[in-house]
Structure 1
């Protein structure tokens, strides 16, 4: 279904010149970052400009075309959230009622509301590992991990990014509609948006599909990566779509379309005061990350499947929508470079990531931060490194040195390059002053020992 672009131009550069320059930049950056195939779609306010480059699958040599569907990973989540909000708009559920009212498997956490699921403020663990998820059902999984003892914090008081919350959101959709999540997503949202439904794990997708790729850093050779998402995780990460498809969804999120009711769009863009996502975004609404840039609040989401990196950004004020897909891990760096190119070409500064705040000089690690923290089955261990500075190891992986600041935030230092990557923050119990949680890359872990 075609959609109408609002007649309020935000980018004045002639479309033909912009198309040529964007194609040149995408071609060059894909080569630089060793990404086999990529797509970029830009809704300027009056036009939609789409460019694509390279190969969808290095094994078959199939081209990456405008309509090629790419595994979106977590960019599936805004679509699932929109489904839940459509049901709420129809009166089938209330965002502020306990999720357990509809899902008996959540009876162990009666305080967790549907809104908490969508804003990652329920205190739920990150989610199942793929091996565990492949051997159980969504209901059994949720009943096993969504208990009071597994909560990372009191629901509605903090943020921890959770696939488990979206497994539950997908179960809500199935319970209310009586349809499997993929069927409900197609009938109620994707097809009305003009998107041909396709999902990870389908034996015969109804459209061309890109493979994700792993790239050998020494040789530059790419090989396809197998998508290992379990069926129960589908509402959190199974959607396949193109950059043009994402642009259609993004346009609906501006509120300038009748494809999503105004109340749904307004609710998705409403920041939850409890959501402090740290390095992931400046805020979070039901299904959408929120980014502040130049006095405006953009919304969107990022997604990574096996060997893909996909991104959506929407400026509701101007109507500008930017959507990108790439089919290799290096596409995340490509996306960041591409947003800088867009700023030069269009004057629009697209927020690829959270802007770094001035936190002053590094300080000594906060007293009492060493110890073991857990999020579900994932263990975070903070201990002094060889030079005495604290280092973080996740499930026994190579420890990464922590660089700490006075506001309890921290960065991670890459031992190979020395570069700093945004890490997260420590949290003190207001009653005792003791550090009881750490948030790394938006995931919160709760202390389980005394250091």
Structure 2
């Protein structure tokens, strides 16, 4: 596959989705291929190149987990140990959960924690400690180890484990354990480091439908372990190649054992009807595409979206960084094209069944977690879902939050597991399932790996 072919596809797809700036990297057949298109900002445009910095969002979780694995190999962290062994100050709304959850529960999202605590604890070195102190406000969705539910707060808590074990700030720990040994010299957390280099800003649609710069540029420091790293396409592809390798840096320095890298890619908990994949490893989402195992993680920030996919048995990786409001479908289109054109792997979304009025009426209603409400609505002919940030969360936030997802069509998938797929809009391609209690009543919905609990209907 030539550079020109990749570049032409990336440019055409960026134009199709209205993506102002994008950088794509591919590792295939022992070679690197790059394609960059567009500008860093519609207000102050500079050409996007291989060194342009983008926010990685939740892809940062792979760096956080890898740092933990280094300390596991050094005997300083035990994956099966209680979190309180390393964060004795931890207090949660559920004391039993706080005492029982393990480090592994945090790393594979089985701690039962809600999504996040929306609180800015400042830019000081106590940001994570203060965040952990506020975790008493977080909903406990389930007992540790009983189910998977994706949690940003859980990874921020992992960051606090790194601080307490190393005696460093989280950012210093990641630099010493991961970034510096691997030569990731174009990856940063601090805005002061980013602003002296070429970097992309996020974009959303303004009220008039035109592209507008997302503000503020980043979220609070305490969110760094779960989503705060800023990096370039070259650094992210080097990161992907490390996870395809034997644990050595490009200069031959051993950073992690091959066994530990392999362990991170092994299933630890199964996922049901999830757009995130078939299982969680340690940080990684695991999926089978056309009969081949893929290992991946995505991320989003303020109008920016990242995708990192590796295929170990083919020694292949594709990374995508973009700064546009349709970033998720753009990334999905690029990854699927790369899989098909470099590897011959074809991924297709399952087709929903025809509208089932009885099922639609059964699942219709409002569902919520600590930050958002999902509204599932039927008009007697079709079923739609929207995602709305709670008004009190918007009111309490000191920063501008992303726009809500407008109602989009969804449908029931074959089988008897109450699985669904969203077929249009910004949530297109998202899969999940409705959960029932012992009596068979619908009590929750999973979307993007997160549990939303049904809101009782008003009497």
TM-score, structure 1 as length reference: 0.84
- Partners of 2:454 and 2:421 in 1: how far apart? 19
Contact 2:108 2:269 in 1 (8 A): no
Residue 80 of structure 2 aligns to a residue whose secondary structure is coil
Is contact 2:304–2:322 with CA below 8 Å preserved after alignment? Answer: yes
Question: For 2:407 and 2:330, how far apart are their aligned partners in 1?
Answer: 27
Kept in 2, the 8 Å contact 1:268–1:285? The answer is yes
In the alignment, is residue 28 of structure 1 matched against residue 12 of structure 2?
Answer: yes
Structure 2 CA distance for partners of 1:142 and 1:404, relative to 1, 3 Å: farther
* In 1: Cα distance, 2:308 partner to 2:41 partner: 22
Question: Residue 385 of structure 1 contacts residue 401 of structure 1 at CA under 8 Å; is this kept in 2?
Answer: no
Residue 8 of structure 1 corresponds to none
Question: 1:8-59: CA deviations, max 9, x gaps?
Answer: xxxxx4xxxx112212222222222222221111111311112212212333
- Alpha-carbon shift at residue 77 of structure 1 (Å): 0.9
Partner of 1:211: 201
Moved more, 231-240 or 37-46: 37-46
Asked if structure 1 preserves the Cα contact closer than 8 Å seen for 2:273 and 2:419, the reply is: no
- Give the aligned CA root-mean-square deviation in angstroms: 3.2
2:432 is aligned with 1:424: yes
- Tell me which of 36, 56, 61 is aligned to 2:40: 56
- Is 1:365 matched with 2:375? no
Secondary structure at the aligned position of 2:34 is classed as strand
Q: 1:357 to 1:421 in 2, by over 3 A?
A: closer
Structure 2 residue 53 is matched with structure 1 residue 69: yes
Preserved contact between residue 211 and residue 327 of structure 1 (Cα < 8 Å): yes
1:141-191 C-alpha deviation (Å, 9 max, x unpaired)? 4344358x8221222121211100111011111111111111111121012
Instruction: Indicate the residue corresponding to 2:241 in structure 1.
Output: 251
Question: Which deviations, in whole Å up to 9, do the C-alpha atoms of 1:287-325 show, x marking residues without a partner?
Answer: 111121122111011111111111111011111111111
Q: Is 1:443 the equivalent of 2:445? A: no
CA distance in 1, matches of 2:79, 2:219: 27
For residues 350 and 341 of structure 1, the distance between their equivalents in structure 2, rounded to whole angstroms, comes to 8
Return the TM-score normalized by structure 2: 0.82
Q: Are 1:298 and 1:314, in contact at CA under 8 Å, matched by a contact in 2?
A: yes
Q: Could you tell me which residue of structure 1 aligns to residue 117 of structure 2?
A: 128
Report the counterpart of residue 145 of structure 1 in structure 2: 135
Structure 1: runs of 5 or more not aligned: 1-12
Secondary structure in 1 aligned to 2:430?
Answer: strand
Cα distance in 2 for residues equivalent to 1:89 and 1:275:
27
Q: Distance in 1 between matches of 2:170 and 2:361?
A: 47
1:289 to 273, 285, 292: 285
Give the count of matched residue pairs.
Answer: 427
**Contact 2:171-2:189 within 8 A present in 1 as well:** no
**Deviation of the 1:404 alpha carbon:** 3.5
1:92 to 59, 76, 82: 76
What SS does the aligned partner of 1:95 have? coil
- Superposed, 1:294-333 pairs within 5 Å as 294-333=290-329
Query: Hey, what's the Cα distance between the residues in 2 that align with 1:161 and 1:218?
Result: 34
Question: In the TM superposition, what is the alpha-carbon distance from 1:73 to its structure 2 partner?
Answer: 0.9
Further displaced range: 74-83 or 257-266: 257-266
Distance 1:380-1:140 versus aligned 2 partners, 3 A rule: farther
1:171-320 pair list within 5 angstroms = 171-196=160-185, 198-205=187-194, 207-216=197-206, 220-259=210-249, 260-276=256-272, 278-320=274-316
* Residue 116 (structure 2) pairs with residue 116 (structure 1): no
Distance of 1:386 and 1:358 partners within structure 2: 21
Measure, in 2, the Cα distance between the counterparts of 1:234 and 1:64: 24
Structure 2 gap ranges (5+): 250-255, 392-403
Whole-Å separation in 1 of the counterparts to 2:89 and 2:273: 27
Q: Is the 8 A contact 2:246 2:257 kept in 1?
A: no
Tell me by how many angstroms 1:104 deviates. 2.4
